[in-house]
Amino acid sequence: MTIDMQQWGDYYSDENNLVKIANACKYREVIVIKHLENRNVPIRPLKVFKLEHIKFWIERLSLKKTLFDLYISNASVKLPELTSNIQQLDIHRKYLLDNWASLVTGYDIFVDVDIDDVKQRPEAEKMARDVKVALHKISPDVELWDTTRGYHVILKGQFNPEYVKEVVQDICCYNNIPMSMPLKDKDGKRYIAKNNEWVELTSDAKVPEIKKPNVDTSIYDTRRIRRVPYSLHSKTGKPMVRLR
């Protein structure tokens, strides 16, 4: 798909769009991945708390004329003062890597429903909505987002990553929702999701390849990042939007 760069630049010039993006970036590590002709260039960590910050980085990195994707950490963090000099970002990257655990203030329940082809979007949306309904048992404040490729289900909070992984795996297992890795370790044993329950995995059992659409269950590390709401997807040129 060819992206209209005029529309791309216009979108990132609209302050209404930028305010929504800036608000979604608060209290998160912000990451830009620029897509150049022959390579991808990640730029992190960035700090965005208000409109002026996102406007600065868009201009500084020439993002109105360059395809890029914008991400935030799934964890909310107490970020230190960060430099605006991209040549010095490696110093801050090391600091965050070394001190991440002490900087984290919360970890969201995040479910990423992946697809291989746009024809799978209806099926993927149904999976995401089923997950959303199941998460209502924890809180009614569950958000469903269309990334213009797959779907994200998010429940913001101060959850433990291991708890998040188990909750998502159990929801998928008991609702027959495909997982990228349908395996669960508990009490020294390994289980596989089968027929809406966890079945102990025998030593000679083969783990089937799970095709997309599925829920990516390999993502629950503390440095996990996710797409920023209202930002444009570099493959579709469309903004991530919230669904009812």
50 pLDDT more than 90: yes
Domain chopping of the chain, boundaries = 5-105+223-243, 109-215
Structure tokens at 9: 């630049």
Q: Which of 88, 69, 85 is nearest to 30 (CA)?
A: 69
**Of 18-32, 85-99, 183-197, which one has max mean pLDDT?**
18-32
Q: Do the strands 143-146 and 151-155 form a parallel or antiparallel pair, or are they unpaired?
A: antiparallel
Between vectors from CA 106 to CA 69 and to CA 63, what angle results, nearest 5°? Answer: 15
Question: In sequence order, which ranges of the chain are alpha helices (DSSP H)?
Answer: 5-11, 15-25, 51-60, 89-103, 121-135, 161-174
Q: How confident is the model at residue 135 (pLDDT cuts 50, 70, 90)?
A: very high
The closest of 113, 74, 110, 109 to 210, measured between CA atoms, is 113
- The helix/strand/coil state of 36 is coil
3-class secondary structure, 75: strand
Distance CA 86, CA 43 (A): 8
Q: What is the pLDDT of residues 139-173, one digit of tens each?
A: 999 999 999 999 999 999 999 999 999 999 999 99
Signed CA dihedral, 228, 229, 231, 236: sign only: positive
Mean pLDDT over the full length of the chain: 96
Nearest to 174 by CA among 130, 136, 118: 130
Does residue 54 contact residue 18 with C-beta atoms inside 8 Å?
A: yes
Query: Letter for the amino acid at 11?
Result: Y
DSSP code of 38? S
**pTM confidence score:** 0.94
Q: Quick one: tokens of 234?
A: 């570099």
Q: How far apart are the C-alpha atoms of 173 and 23, rounded to whole Å?
A: 34
